[in-house]
Amino acid sequence: MGLEIKFLNQIKRSASAGQDLFSCIVSPLVWLFPVVFFSCFQGAWAELGVASANDTQIVILKEEQLLQLYVNGKRVKSYRICLGANPSGPKRVMGDQKTPEGEYVICYKSLSSRFHRFMGISYPTMVDAQASFENGSISLDELHSLVNVIQAEKTPPWDSKLGGWVGIHGYPTNEYHRRWISLLYPKPQNWTDGCIAMWNFEIDELYPLVPVGTPVSIRP
């Protein structure tokens, strides 16, 4: 009996030492594993569309008629696009059929649109308002009014003289209109009032990759 008790005590001490060793080795690994796992796959997830607005950027090159998507500084997508019917130069007033130029963000998204999907950009900005005032398109009072609204709201005013509802979208949801526009204005023919248009299957791919707040740089 004495030997059995001694043997059992030895087993308990060994088990206790084993538990201590297990705690020393395995416990840190339990905490470390998620950190290593998420670090290894963060870049891959970002490229698959789980990136934040800070990770993504859209660059639109008007002359080349290209939309490029960047994730963590790396270009991951490139699309041929259609622009406003009168694309040269920056947008200044409603109805000029020009696509804006400058630095914007995605400020609004809609899955239900007359043009399949819609991602609104933050035009007009205060820079646009100031430029329109300087070229005589709006008065000083209108400039002050626009600036106050732009500063107070996340989405800029889209019913001013400068125009609005400028964004990235697909072709018309209405089948009849879609067929005629596709026939009369096939890519890369410019046909919009100032928006950036893509094939519907392309914006279906792009839409989930671009969160609200994504920077949009539109270049001449």
- Quote the pLDDT of residue 40: 41
Q: In what order do the strands lie in the sheet with 66-71?
A: 74-80, 66-71, 56-61, 215-219, 102-113, 116-121, 167-169, 196-197
- Quote the pLDDT of residue 153: 76
Domain containing residue 125: CATH number: 2.40.440.10
- Quote the pLDDT of residue 150: 87
Claim to verify: residue 97 and residue 199 sit in the same structural domain: yes
- Quote the pLDDT of residue 48: 47
| Tens-place pLDDT, residues 42-89 | 444 344 445 666 799 999 999 999 999 999 999 999 999 999 999 999
Q: What is the domain extent for residue 113?
A: 53-219
Claim to verify: residue 131 and residue 196 sit in the same structural domain: yes
Spell out where the chain has E strands. 56-61, 66-71, 74-80, 102-113, 116-121, 167-169, 196-197, 215-219
**Sites in the chain below the pLDDT cut of 70:** 1-53
- Quote the pLDDT of residue 209: 96
Claim to verify: residue 104 and residue 191 sit in the same structural domain: yes
- Quote the pLDDT of residue 166: 96
- Quote the pLDDT of residue 9: 54
Count up the domains in the chain and report the number: 2
